[in-house]
Copies of this chain bind each other. A is one copy, B any other.
């Protein structure tokens, strides 16, 4: 066993909600002493970098209650129970932007906040977007504006902190790197 492992002595469920569960755990540290850990359980999520046929990036503006402000982000959504991340990505892209992609490719997955939460995000690149006539609608408690921007416009939004979250910052850097390396299809 790894010498850094913290052994669980006791685990108490504090809260179980629509999205998150909260546990407080008593752990035994590598030096034998004890401590407490607060742990948020989350179903995981997907995020999509949607690129139109004209090479523009599709973003969503939405209100984030945790921040009490509107953010501009790449489309994203929680995994439903038993759903494959790729299926979630296709569904969320359609719900949030009304588009379907000709190709959808997994780029990377990462934990967003390993210090206190187990949320894992799977990031996909979606290219060749087509507007759907019969697009499925958003969840009944979701309200978003859709934007189509160039990479330069998105980088300006990052500068102004209209874009201000990790997955979208990662996505913009990914597109910059792809451009510099000349790997764009456009």
Residues of A within 8 A of B (CB): 2, 4-6, 14-15, 17-20, 22, 24-25, 27, 29-31, 33, 35-42, 45, 61-67, 70-71, 73, 76, 78, 108-119, 121, 140-141, 143-145, 158, 164-170, 173-174, 176-177, 180-181
Contact of B6 with A20 in the complex, beta carbons under 8 Å: no
Q: Which residue of B lies closest to A62 (CB)?
A: B4
What residues on B are CB-neighbors of A61 within 8 Å? Answer: 4
Q: How far is the CB of A179 from chain B (nearest CB, A)?
A: 10
The binding surface of chain A is classed by DSSP as mixed
Neighbour of A63 across the interface among B2, B164, B180, CB < 8 A: B2
Contact of B70 with A2 in the complex, beta carbons under 8 Å: yes
Q: Which residue of B lies closest to A141 (CB)?
A: B35
Given known pairs A66-B114, A114-B73, A166-B166, the reply for A18 and B4 (CB within 8 Å) is no
What residues on B are CB-neighbors of A176 within 8 Å? Answer: 177
Q: How far is the CB of A141 from chain B (nearest CB, A)?
A: 4
Contact of B113 with A112 in the complex, beta carbons under 8 Å: yes
